Amino acid sequence: MPFPKIDNDLLNVGSTNGKIPLIGAGDKLPTSLLDTGAGSNKLVQLDGDGKLPAIDASLLTNLPAPSGGVGAWNLIDTQIANNVAQVDFTTGIDGTHKEYVIRGTDIIVSSSAHLGLRVRVAGTFRTGAEYTYGGDGTSNQQGILSFSDANGNFYKIIPSSVIAYDAGGNVSFDLSITNPAGTTATKAFRSNAGGAGNGYNSGFACQSGGRWFGASTSQPFNYSALDGFRILPDNGTLVTGTFKLYGLL
């Protein structure tokens, strides 16, 4: 026989411990009984705008690949230069990506200077003569730009002094650093750059390649992982410029 119907006033109902909850409007439990949040064993609840709360992205699984799939550029950091000696990237550099790209746009320097890269190892930027580089290009003002098998205390992104601030010129570049977290090879770089002055025929374009080998004179080479990048001129300051660090999947 069916269980007899019991009036609610005979039941110990409520939303506290030891009480029987009542189903509310829409056949739903009262929200006060739901253990919501973004932590372990909690129910994730949308906010008043129907959006998820702030959640650590590493907790999300089975997500589709980033737009563009393998090979897509993931923006890690952006730096804006304003009369500074250098621009540093010191976060997000690990084994997540096998290649990192720094893109510099509309850079103006305070005086004629070479633009270059230094790397950081275990929290210290390497300033010794531990870099080698080579490159070539063309300039409407200087003709052929070239150098090879050179070494110095930074990697030269451009094989010639960039157009100085007082000439109204600027420069842009893409610089690739391969597998900075690796520990079995020296760190390879390659870059492409171009720029122009305030004259109608003062443009240039060039490409360079090189590496950080971590030895001032001879072997053994240093294969340590890198944890930072610094873009700087060897003379003057970075008056303006936008610098973006990307990781490539």
Over residues 136-181, the pLDDT tens digits come to 888 766 667 666 667 889 999 886 777 666 556 788 999 999 999 9
d(CA 114, CA 135): 13
**In this predicted structure, what is the pLDDT of residue 219?**
72
What local confidence, expressed as pLDDT, does residue 27 receive? 59
CA gyration radius, the chain? 29
Distance CA 198, CA 169 (A): 6
What is the set of domains in the chain, with CATH numbers?
Answer: 1-63 (no CATH), 73-248 (2.60.120)
Residues 6+ apart with CB under 8 A from 115: 104, 107, 109, 156, 157, 158, 162, 171, 173, 193, 231, 232, 233
Mean per-residue pLDDT, 59-87: 77
Whether the upstream peptide bond of residue 220 has omega within 30° of 0, thus cis, is yes
Residue of 211, 128, 199, 207 lying closest to 160 (CA atoms): 207
Confidence of residue 196 (pLDDT cuts 50, 70, 90): confident
